[in-house]
Structure 1
């Protein structure tokens, strides 16, 4: 009896502990995220951001690639059948479906924000908010109205409402303000700086990046009626806050300590457009080609130092002497490809993506999120449009530094930038340029080449500069001004997609695209 009582007691105790520990609960809610350290999630989220924007991923053509085409910087080599989706604009809501990948990535950053405190990793909240703001701006710039206030809530809201794009933009400024407060209050724990594959735990640089994204958001709205006072107030708040902007260096993910010479672990740009882990040239190396418009414009301005970094001479890179061209690097050996042309421009007789982007063996370059040169041109435009903002420099000084930083990131001798001062070349020499805003827009367009195609296309839609030739594949003057909402969102959140009205990718402009 004593033995029997013991077994009964043990069994009851087992059941009690099992119930307490949910031992017999075999049901798992698929809408609840599994537990993971925010530091691990954050590192992976940064790498995913870089892949979604620049690299080799399941969605194929990435936003920076499509932006490089539609901004007139790249065309397609004639070693392939012409891609009519891109070059004849024959696309539907089944194409350019970056929406799902972006929202998946945003879920990761939201997980970090929600769980950083409980895991004693508060220093990750600020960086995660900065990245959240950057991705949301890019989503708005591609699609317009979208889920924001009800998004990223997992199973709580399965059909989130769409927020007005203008309101989302303003909310992102607030989010970045919150991020800077978090960054200043929570320095990285030294043991976890390795989880930050952008700034290695520098909260100062994260705050500067936050301010740089703010400036991008504000200047994007600079032509919208009624926004001038708001923009000037927010710029002055950035100056007063005091962290400043990213200067003299670029914002990139990964780098030499992260990417490896192993399949699947190369920098995404290198893996897609350059070489595999064994040094074999990728077939897609022959696909994107710098446009005739770009190359001819650089030649006409005598801007050959940057041209030779943007592109390899005809015939491509010399594999035995990486970073150099097969042919002599003289202007006559650089031939751009007309946008959308389908024959007559083979790899052997056209320029290819140059050493600023691809060099054999350099598989571990950071994947660029934002360049220092873009920031300088944002500051130049801010000072030129709103002369009374408290930015310390002049529009001219920011413009000229923007060209210097463009030379630097391209790997050209920065002394070459000084040659344009007093050169009398329109849109290069500040004093000689008739329209200063035009000069800023065109120099920014050049500077974004090879690094930030999505920004280049977005800025082209905002400024209509430079004046680009139409695709050879298109008879009329139509150009895309946005993407369609993807069919995946229509299937899962149809009522809210329908509520946005009829979307025409050629006429339904975003709120900042006023002309």
Structure 2
């Protein structure tokens, strides 16, 4: 692991005591120089870096993008270079290195935590701890055992030992509890809320986000039967705490006051798959395609309102009418691409990623890191699995609200969600679905589409639902269960990497992947 101490090379103009978030923060790395920047500057940049690392940009693929592919939601368009590492699973420890960028980003948050008190910015400690927990969970979900207790200590520990992934998960719950204590004790003050490009200094929303992440971590472990009592106890503790969860709004980063129409300052999704700062279409716009499985299932279920937000009709977005398809937006014009197909599905004849994610000119949308819809499905599963937890509503109510919130975040008319009540459509109508947990899993998969690819892949590995087709490029049934440790870590921390044993990315499962 590369340990880096980040310093600010070019600070934004001050507005009162806070930073002007309309400009980006330039970070240079100098491992031989002590940091001198104020925590609030580093915090703003750290949040922006988190969005870029997860989403990706013109410099590379983010972890979410890989998740969209391997969960069966997206595939490759045939109007771009064919990539075998993703769709034929021909990858090595030189591919998909999210490790370095994640740990560099974690160093940013650790810097804020370490320096907040001395700079009278204690209000940044809680949010930084929340973000650390989110990123560490994602690292576990990608790699399994990871450096945790020895991590983020800079030159003090150059070869950090790896912690057991199950122990890391347990520690993250404790870390989020500590974050909530910090948040309650240290609300944002003055104009420093502008340095928070996630919740604008709203402490209550940070606590609700922390509780939502705790539910994600707990439910991820729900098929490990030995943890049932622990999970129920922790869920009841969240309810007792009383702040609640993300409800009716999403956890996001950036937005109109932050992203700007300039090179390197766009929403990272828009920048990677959409358009540049002048509105010219990116070449990568032809790459991600909604899968045939996704589109055909939405059609078969009568879920056309969400279909039209998840995808554009064949031929893509009308360049003269942003947000509207070139072809008529009728079900017949939505054409998915078989997963892994390398020919026969050109951009003009297939659907592309839709207006819920990309609209020409909308370069400054906030980047979504967790949706309220996901939270409702977590609550639905918690109540369905553990009927005696003290969650106040029913599994059915949480499930149905999850669909409503999915419509909302996609930009579809939420009234359309009510049409599925009593519809007899399996996995949509709660009463008609005999396997309630399967219905929750399928609806969560739909709701995560276009927003949380890494979460989709993790949930697919945990639940094996929905049963998506194998890649056309792969003759057997093997699918990746995790990533290799990157060769950069193997080179700088070889003894600890070797101690993890032989990694088979098709057979070495994570501890929560028990099926």
Contact 1:32-1:154 at 8 Å conserved across structures: no
Q: Residues 336, 184 of structure 1: CA spacing in aligned structure 2 closer, same or farther, 3 A cutoff?
A: same
Alpha-carbon distance in 2 for matches of 1:476, 1:232: 39
Alpha-carbon distance in 1 for matches of 2:231, 2:66: 29
Alpha-carbon distance in 1 for matches of 2:163, 2:76: 36
Alpha-carbon distance in 1 for matches of 2:34, 2:513: 38
Unaligned runs of 5+ in 2: 1-29
Q: TM-score, normalised by structure 1?
A: 0.94
Q: How does 1:15-26 map to 2 (within 5 A)?
A: none
What SS class does the counterpart of residue 166 from structure 1 fall into? helix
What SS class does the counterpart of residue 513 from structure 1 fall into? coil
Alpha-carbon distance in 1 for matches of 2:511, 2:33: 35
Q: Quote the offset at 1:435 in angstroms.
A: 0.1
Contact 1:82-1:340 at 8 Å conserved across structures: no
Q: Partner residue of 2:55?
A: 54
Write out per-residue CA displacement over residues 110-142 of structure 1, whole angstroms, 9 at most, x where no aligned residue: 011111001000000000000000000000000
Q: Partner residue of 2:317?
A: 317
Q: Partner residue of 2:417?
A: 417
How large is the Cα RMSD of the aligned pairs?
1.0
What SS class does the counterpart of residue 75 from structure 1 fall into? strand
Q: Quote the offset at 1:487 in angstroms.
A: 0.2
What SS class does the counterpart of residue 500 from structure 1 fall into? coil
Q: Quote the offset at 1:31 in angstroms.
A: 5.2
Unaligned runs of 5+ in 1: 1-28
Q: Partner residue of 1:111?
A: 111
Write out per-residue CA displacement over residues 334-389 of structure 1, whole angstroms, 9 at most, x where no aligned residue: 00000000111000000000000000110000111100100000000000000000
Q: How does 1:343-492 map to 2 (within 5 A)?
A: 343-492=343-492
1:494 and 2:483 matched: no
Q: TM-score, normalised by structure 2?
A: 0.94
Q: Partner residue of 1:42?
A: 43
What SS class does the counterpart of residue 226 from structure 1 fall into? helix
What SS class does the counterpart of residue 252 from structure 2 fall into? strand
Alpha-carbon distance in 2 for matches of 1:198, 1:362: 18
Q: How does 1:11-160 map to 2 (within 5 A)?
A: 30=31, 33-56=34-57, 58=59, 60-160=60-160
Alpha-carbon distance in 1 for matches of 2:511, 2:364: 38
1:206 and 2:220 matched: no
What SS class does the counterpart of residue 392 from structure 1 fall into? coil
Q: Quote the offset at 1:30 in angstroms.
A: 3.2
The structure with the larger Rg is: 1
Alpha-carbon distance in 2 for matches of 1:397, 1:227: 25
Q: Quote the offset at 1:392 in angstroms.
A: 0.5
Moved over 4 A (4+): none
Q: Partner residue of 1:286?
A: 286
Contact 1:209-1:245 at 8 Å conserved across structures: yes
Matched residues, number: 487
Q: Quote the offset at 1:191 in angstroms.
A: 1.7
What SS class does the counterpart of residue 368 from structure 2 fall into? strand
Q: Partner residue of 1:18?
A: none
Q: Residues 278, 503 of structure 1: CA spacing in aligned structure 2 closer, same or farther, 3 A cutoff?
A: same
What SS class does the counterpart of residue 420 from structure 2 fall into? coil
Q: Quote the offset at 1:55 in angstroms.
A: 2.8
Alpha-carbon distance in 1 for matches of 2:159, 2:481: 26
Contact 1:53-1:62 at 8 Å conserved across structures: yes
Alpha-carbon distance in 2 for matches of 1:222, 1:63: 24
Alpha-carbon distance in 2 for matches of 1:364, 1:371: 18
1:242 and 2:264 matched: no
What SS class does the counterpart of residue 227 from structure 1 fall into? helix
Alpha-carbon distance in 1 for matches of 2:180, 2:163: 24
Contact 2:80-2:284 at 8 Å conserved across structures: no
What SS class does the counterpart of residue 375 from structure 1 fall into? helix
Q: Quote the offset at 1:428 in angstroms.
A: 0.2
Contact 1:32-1:155 at 8 Å conserved across structures: no
Contact 2:58-2:272 at 8 Å conserved across structures: no
Contact 1:31-1:154 at 8 Å conserved across structures: no
Write out per-residue CA displacement over residues 172-207 of structure 1, whole angstroms, 9 at most, x where no aligned residue: 000000000000000101220000000000010000
Contact 1:81-1:342 at 8 Å conserved across structures: no
Write out per-residue CA displacement over residues 419-445 of structure 1, whole angstroms, 9 at most, x where no aligned residue: 000000000000000100000000000
Alpha-carbon distance in 1 for matches of 2:62, 2:478: 22
Alpha-carbon distance in 2 for matches of 1:311, 1:97: 29
Contact 2:56-2:65 at 8 Å conserved across structures: no
Alpha-carbon distance in 2 for matches of 1:115, 1:246: 29
Q: Quote the offset at 1:225 in angstroms.
A: 2.4
